[in-house]
A = this chain, B = another copy of it.
Amino acid sequence: MPPGLKDVAARAGVSIKTVSNVVNGYVHVAPATRARVQAAIEALGYVPNMAARQLRSGRSGVIALAVPELQSPYFAEIAGLIVQAAEQRSWTVLIDQTDGHAERERNLVAGLRRHAIDGLIFSPLALAGEELAVESGTPMVLLGERVWHGPADHVAIDNTAAAADATRHLRSLGRRRIAAIGVQDSPSAVTSHQRLAGYRSVLAEAGLESVETPVESFHRADGAAAMARLLDEGEPPDAVFCFNDLLALGAIRTLLERGLSVPGDVAVIGFDDIEDGRFSTPTLSTIAPDAPRIAQLAVDLLAERLGDGPAASGAPRELRVDHRLVVRESTTVG
């Protein structure tokens, strides 16, 4: 019972199509007619029916963003930024939480929502490789490392280089027993693998022994538990590179709980530059990816694929985004 073009047309004394033309800003409408139609629109409070529009055009104006979890500040930040970037194109963003479940992610890639969304920005956690390469008809942009030569564009920082930067920074403090927290075995844990590779390369270069601590997931509790294990078994480290900030905050918690000083006894660096790290005690050194740029590029890339222009169907592209080392108290001695 909300008013449709029909009702507006009746009130303005014109045809349905003329109202449609006014709504869509078609140029060849007489000013007087336009004014009359506008008035009718205002009066009735007409709002275009998106379902009907989509049915005709095949476009919904909705893109989906799939992230492992919103609870994680990094993903929440990315989500916020992507919503903002999408707004410039007057797209609506449907945020999908996969919880890292492979099944859920598979459904997304298979295009279960095919008809409802125009495109997908996807930060996979459980899936990698060929599984992502399914061609679903819906344009997709991947966030995070390209893991296979699938049909999708992707945007990412150079994880390996960034991890090397972080490790090198710990090295530059003169630390000799540098541990890593965040190792994951699963072949799909690409982020972990790449950060581990960066870490290893620097240690190998320096001739230091690598100390690798596995985690279940990348939350504070995992970091705290991993740190506890590190302290209980064998020689304790004098520096730790955590594969994200949450792990680092958990690790710091354990260290302080045990009466150790950060960075005095153990220097800690994280990865992501979430806001927590700017107000924690000690404040957290970290690798800061250029998140606003990641969001902007992801949306732009999707826009190109969605556009009817020539760029709509080129080869998948790989966009690298800058990162920088942010030194804070957790690695500042003296």
Residues of A within 8 A of B (CB): 2, 47-52, 54-55, 60, 62, 69-71, 73, 76-77, 79-80, 83-84, 92-95, 97, 111-116, 137, 219-221, 224, 249-250, 252-253, 256-257, 275-276, 278-281, 283
Contact = CB atoms under 8 A, between A and B. Distances in A.
A115 B49 contact: yes
B51 A55 contact: yes
Given A55-B51, A70-B79, A97-B83, A224 B279 contact: yes
A70 B70 contact: yes
Contact of A2 (B60, B115, B220, B252): B115
A280 B246 CA distance: 11
A60 B70 contact: no
Contacts of A49: 55, 115
Contacts of A54: 51
B275 A253 contact: no
A115 B51 contact: yes
A117 B278 CA distance: 38
A275 B222 CA distance: 13
6 contacts: A47-B111, A47-B112, A51-B55, A62-B94, A70-B76, A253-B281
A120 to B, nearest CB: 14
Contacts of A113: 50, 92
B47 A115 contact: yes
Contact of A48 (B62, B83, B115): B115
Contacts of A73: 71, 73, 76
Most buried by B among A2, A224, A276: A276
A7 to B, nearest CB: 14
The 8 A-B residue pairs whose C-beta atoms are closest, nearest first, are A51-B54, A220-B279, A253-B279, A51-B55, A95-B95, A70-B76, A49-B115, A256-B281
